[in-house]
Structure 1
Amino acid sequence: MLNNKDKDIFKEEIGFVPPGVLIADNFGEEFQKNIAEYHHQIWAEGVIPLKYRYMIALATAIFDNNEKRARLEMTKAIKEGATREELLEVIKQQIWMKGAPTIVQVAPLIEMLNKKLGK
């Protein structure tokens, strides 16, 4: 099971313990440790700035039709300095990649973006 120190590290870094890390203990302590370490490796500062990695994650969430995750990734991207224009460009790209019906899918994200960063 994830100890309190590890939970505190997640809370300090991103504000919460990722659900995948929390439930990983169902597969054993070693598995959870590996998932937690992998999460830290992926989301630590790297060659690609964190803002852009969050925008990549936003694009994959939109493509997967995962609104909950898209909202989370958009919030993290904004926190890292993503602009309205950058986020709209990511959304437009996904509309191109998935097709016009995606416009309906992303409508709640546009509303969220307008509330957070204005129109």
Structure 2
Amino acid sequence: MGEHEKLIEDMSEKLGFTPEILKTLGELDPEFLHKYKRCNHKLLSDGALPAKVKIMIALAVVASKQCERCTVVQMQSALKNGATKEEIMEVMDVIFITSGAPAVAACRDALKLLK
């Protein structure tokens, strides 16, 4: 197993799935994958805020940018890290209040993961 495959495996274990972008980044530029892992580690590790809370913040941010695929990835990560349906629905309230209906619509596929 190559270095970038090991990095991807480590990150995938934390996320609970393997985003395709990680495979592509690893093939194109293993050094960038190292940078990505360091940033991802900050998001997925408890600090002053629990990882679950940081991931739900990330969910709200990517929804505000109307990145549908990103909302699915963050939702998967939030659920893997212990977020409840009730917590996610409160995040949806925040998304609606701060970013409106288009941002909520960007979560269409992500919300299906709650069923």
Q: Percent identity?
A: 28
Contact 1:61 1:70 in 2 (8 A): yes
- Deviation, 1:17, is 4.8
Output the CA distance in 2 between the equivalents of 1:34 and 1:106. 27
State how many pairs are aligned. Answer: 113
- Deviation, 1:91, is 0.9
Output the CA distance in 1 between the equivalents of 2:30 and 2:104. 42
Residue type at the aligned position of 1:76: S
Contact 2:96 2:104 in 1 (8 A): yes
The runs of 5 or more residues in structure 2 that have no matched partner are: none
TM-score (norm: length of structure 1)? 0.70
Pick closer, same or farther for the CA change 1:5–1:90 going to 2, 3 Å. Answer: same
Pick closer, same or farther for the CA change 1:22–1:42 going to 2, 3 Å. Answer: farther
Residue by residue over 1:27-62, the C-alpha shift from the partner in whole angstroms, topping out at 9 and shown as x without a partner, is: x54443333333324423322111111111110111
The structure showing larger relative contact order (alpha-carbon pairs under 8 Å, at least 6 residues apart) is 2
Matched, 1:23 2:17: no
Give the alignment of 1:65-84 within 5 angstroms: 65-84=66-85
Output the CA distance in 2 between the equivalents of 1:3 and 1:108. 29
Structure of larger gyration radius: 1
Output the CA distance in 1 between the equivalents of 2:36 and 2:106. 30
Residue type at the aligned position of 1:66: C
Residue type at the aligned position of 1:63: S
Residue type at the aligned position of 1:52: V
Residue type at the aligned position of 1:46: G
Output the CA distance in 1 between the equivalents of 2:109 and 2:13. 28
Pick closer, same or farther for the CA change 1:100–1:33 going to 2, 3 Å. Answer: closer
Residue type at the aligned position of 1:64: K
TM-score (norm: length of structure 2)? 0.72
Pick closer, same or farther for the CA change 1:88–1:96 going to 2, 3 Å. Answer: same
Residue type at the aligned position of 1:90: V
